[in-house]
Amino acid sequence: MFNFKQTLAACAGLALVIALLALATPIRTQGQGGNQQPLKVDVINPAASPALVRDVDNQARPRFSATKFCDISHLELTQVCTIATAPPDKQVVIEYVSVRARMEPGVLPFAQINATQTHAPSGMPLTWRFPLIMTPQGTFDNNGSPKDFYVSSQLVRFYVDPGQPVELEVERSIHGTLAVSFTVTISGYFVDVP
């Protein structure tokens, strides 16, 4: 048993010496053929699949934000308001939506974001509808007229294709005697379209 302990200690010591020598001795790599000068590398890609020459996942993208006021008269139940339209050479990525609704007491709001993308197989524009969760905040005096306030603040990820609109679609649950108002703010960033 004593010989086994000595042999084990000797092997461990030898392994330690070899590891230290390996770390302390620099070795020239042979990836470029030894002592040659670095070789020139040419990237040749067809136009259909170009080589990327910029950082395509850069977090410092151009910011985008827009705010829109959207009212529904007392004679209407629904309204669609265009918040913004994507530039012709960029896609808009929306990451945050905030909506505030001022309603007559007892009238409930509904709000959704409509974002248009090109449908991949057909190439036709397709509008996606994203309902928002409206949370009641209470009843507050609004210039002598009480209003029920609702808010929605949601992290999202919507893609809006170049030249396409992003819209807020709002509804009220019943007709009333006063107009109701919605305020929406969206924010995100632009992405270059190849």
pLDDT tens for residues 13-53?
888 888 887 777 766 665 555 556 666 777 777 777 777 66
Predicted confidence (pLDDT) per residue in 94-147, tens digit:
999 999 999 999 899 999 999 888 777 787 888 889 999 999 999 998 788 889
Tokens of 72: 């529904």
Number of structural domains in the chain? 1
- Residue 91: give the domain boundaries: 63-192
SS (H, E, C) 59-113: CCCCEEEEEEEEEECCCCCEEEEEEEECCCCEEEEEEEEEEEEEECCCCCEEEEE
5 occurs within a structural domain: no
Q: Classify residue 171: in a domain, yes or no.
A: yes
Helices (H) and strands (E) in the chain, counts: 1, 9
* Any domain includes 49: no
Please indicate, yes or no, if residue 186 is contained in any of the structural domains: yes
- The count of other CB atoms within 10 Å of the CB of residue 120 is 7
| 141 belongs to a structural domain | yes
**pTM of the shown model:** 0.65
CATH number of the domain to which 93 belongs: 2.60.120.1330
